[in-house]
Chain A
Amino acid sequence: MEYIPNILFLILLIAGAGFFIRNSKKIIRNIKIGHKVNASDHKKERWNNVIRIALGQSKMVARPLAGILHIIVYVGFIIINIEVLEIIIDGLFGTHRIFSGLGSIYGFLIASFEILAVLVLVSVSIFWLRRMVKRIPRFWSKEMTKWPKNDALYILYFEMVLMSLFLLMNATDTHFQNMGSGNIISQFIAPLFSSLGEGTLHLIERSAWWIHIIGIFIFLNYLYYSKHLHILLAFPNVYYGSVEAKGKFKNLESVTNEVKLMMDPNVDPFAAPPEGAEVPAKFGASDVLDLNRTQLLNAYTCTECGRCTSNCPANQTGKKLSPRKIMMDTRDRLEEIGKNINANGEFKPDNKQLLDDYITREELWACTTCNACVEACPVSIDPLSIIMDMRQYLVMEQSAAPNELNISMTNIENNGAPWPYNQMDRLNWKDE
């Protein structure tokens, strides 16, 4: 009978980790729906970016208050997780505070966890106030429908509860309090429970311990359903992010081949394609299947902070475009396709696509390609690349550019300028 808690813990651990692994595999499978990307170049720069942007949170502090608070929560999250290691060992082997044998180091560690826990609690509360009381517009814009709003709140509540449980667990742990070191914060909470008997205290301590670790397992598995995935995906996402100048848009290789053929005077224009030649790929993207893996990883990484949208000139002037919505739509469509695959074993066409069913043409044509969204993203997401791929589809597959644009393009084709001036007049300014 005395092993029941250990067995129970083991089952919880396996279930928690198992579910998490299962869902992670789904995410990886979904991302792999996209075209392969080659990120074997610029290795040093990529790792530098991971260290600077992801680990170092360098872009978060562009907005100092949110940035610093975020760093506190982030550091707290990472460091307090050392404690989770102890909890897991204790849980599995029925020990109590196995690391406490470390003596003063243990005291120091737990003391820093306690301080961080308080800092996290304060930061998360300020986050809540910014959302719910100050009502910062980017948290209330159109694409922030019921679920995205609730999702954000659930995450904050989770963190509040977990941190409180951690402090409660320490405060009601008589053995730990008697050690007299490390209880830098919890010593002030302990007196609240001084009237309780040892048995009750122990019960509270055990309950806090169990709820805390169960909470962590639930939170771990909540990630998959939430925007909060960024805590894991930010790192690979930054690694795969662009290392080129932001103004460099990728050249479509399939187009290059065709243009080269067109410009080669030796090519027979009427030649039939060679036997077994590949059918030319679709130009641009109308669905997530046409995007690449980095773009799909981007979609899962987006934590809907809205910095991109609040920096977008089109969005600020009341246009429908919101770079955050582009990312959310991409993820939602990808999830839909993922569920389709789960149900059917493979993707069964569902008469839907990213274009029109999720992202409207009006949004796509409102973009000025100014890169403000790309610059603003703290985790190197590139909404602009998706907008561009979808524009390419509209123009090259559907000839569906706005009419004025078609006129400009015809001008470029005919006279080498977007306006109807003769190329032979190009130097007239010299004598004017």
Chain B
Amino acid sequence: MSDTIKVPTMAEFLAQGKQPEVLFWVGCAGSFDDRAKKITKAFVKILNKANIDFAVLGTEESCSGDPAKRAGNEFLFQMQAMMNIQVLDGYEIKKIVTTCPHCFNTLKNEYPELGGNYEVMHHTQFLKDLLNEGRLKVEGGRYKGKRITFHDPCYLGRANNEYEALRDLLRKLEVELIEMNRCKSNGLCCGAGGAQMCKDAEPGDKEIFVERTEEAIEVQPSIIATGCPFCNTMMTDGVKVKEKEDDVQVLDIAEMIANADDL
């Protein structure tokens, strides 16, 4: 299939006097990080394939404010939030989907009190709904029977009690899902949350991402699946540190679904 993807912006929709079904909130990682951009594109390919009427904010999107808030900079967070709310409300956005659990959590839980009320979904929840509604078909393809473990992102799992959507999708891919020792509500953090992504770790005897990757490698998966661009970066780094790049891949569920379908 060709590599061209259709990514309409809200501005374009507005110019045509139309409203998309859903806004795809790309997030900073998804927009700028080389690894995360692949996740963004994979998700867009799925949206294109399923003929979803979506749009992005493009250059009108700005940081959700999550790292600022977790770093303790409530002021900057609320500035970002209120500016974003102005943009979102300007376009009369009702429904948002995002590939980043941090944006997901902030938009869903922390924006309402500041006046921003939207139906916010993580891409795994959105994809699961598409499946249930029959608008998307997912088949095992190249992942059928592969040993795959899933790393729960904190801001999807513990923070928002979403443990099953991604696992459901993995089951649809007919993979052999092997859980790590610590999973779901007991899952170990990758080390990136709470604005740690923006700084070096405090002194200790180990990096958190190494600890988590070791745990993942222990169950001998061929793929570590994630649902968060930051977890993805951390686990990818971990696999490199453990020199397992040849045996273990780190993939977002969106990439797996897109790959399975050769998108």
Contacts and interface: CB of A to CB of B under 8 A. Distances in A.
Interface string A253-270: 001101110110000000
Interface in A265-320: 283-284, 311, 313-314, 316-320
B14 interface: no
Size class of B's contact patch?
35 or more
Interface stretch (A101-109, A110-118, A172-180, A407-415): A407-415
Interface in B187-204: 188-189, 191-204
Contacts of A256: 78, 113-114
B80 interface: yes
Contact of A413 (B76, B82, B188): B76
A262 B79 contact: yes
A145 B161 CA distance: 36
Nearest to B7: A430
Nearest to B44: A430
A250 B110 CA distance: 8
B202 A426 contact: no
Q: Which of B61, B114, B189 has the most CB of A within 10 A?
A: B189
A368 interface: yes
A128 B82 CA distance: 54
A365 to B, nearest CB: 6
A405 interface: yes
A186 to B, nearest CB: 43
Given A247-B159, A418-B67, A429-B40, A317 B211 contact: yes
A260 B82 contact: yes
B208 A368 contact: yes
A368 B158 contact: no
For the residues of A in contact with B, the DSSP-based class is helix
Interface string B46-77: 00000000001011011101011111111110
A404 interface: yes
A428 B9 CA distance: 13
Interface stretch (B26-34, B140-148, B169-177): B26-34
B213 to A, nearest CB: 12
Given A259-B75, A432-B37, A368 B193 contact: yes
Contacts of A423: 59, 62
Interface string B194-228: 11111111111111101110000000000000000
Contact of B204 (A249, A314, A407, A421): A314
Interface stretch (A70-78, A333-341, A395-403): A395-403
A85 B74 CA distance: 53
Interface stretch (A20-28, A150-158, A160-168, A369-377): A369-377
Interface residues of A, number: 69
B199 A405 contact: yes
B71 A314 contact: no
Interface stretch (A29-37, A197-205, A347-355, A386-394): A386-394
Contact of B74 (A248, A251, A321, A416): A251
Given A317-B206, A424-B59, A367 B32 contact: no
The interface centre, meaning the residue of A247, A248, A317 with most chain B CB atoms within 10 A of its CB, is: A247
A252 B74 contact: yes
B97 to A, nearest CB: 17
A404 B155 CA distance: 23
Contact of B82 (A263, A369, A392, A424): A263
A314 B31 contact: no
Interface in B117-163: 154-155, 158-161
A193 interface: no
Interface string B8-48: 01000000000000000010101110000100110000000
A93 interface: no
A255 B194 contact: no
Instruction: Identify the 4 closest CB pairs spanning chains A and B, nearest first.
Output: A247-B159, A391-B72, A369-B194, A318-B205
Given A319-B204, A419-B32, 4 more contacts: A249-B69, A372-B154, A372-B189, A426-B61
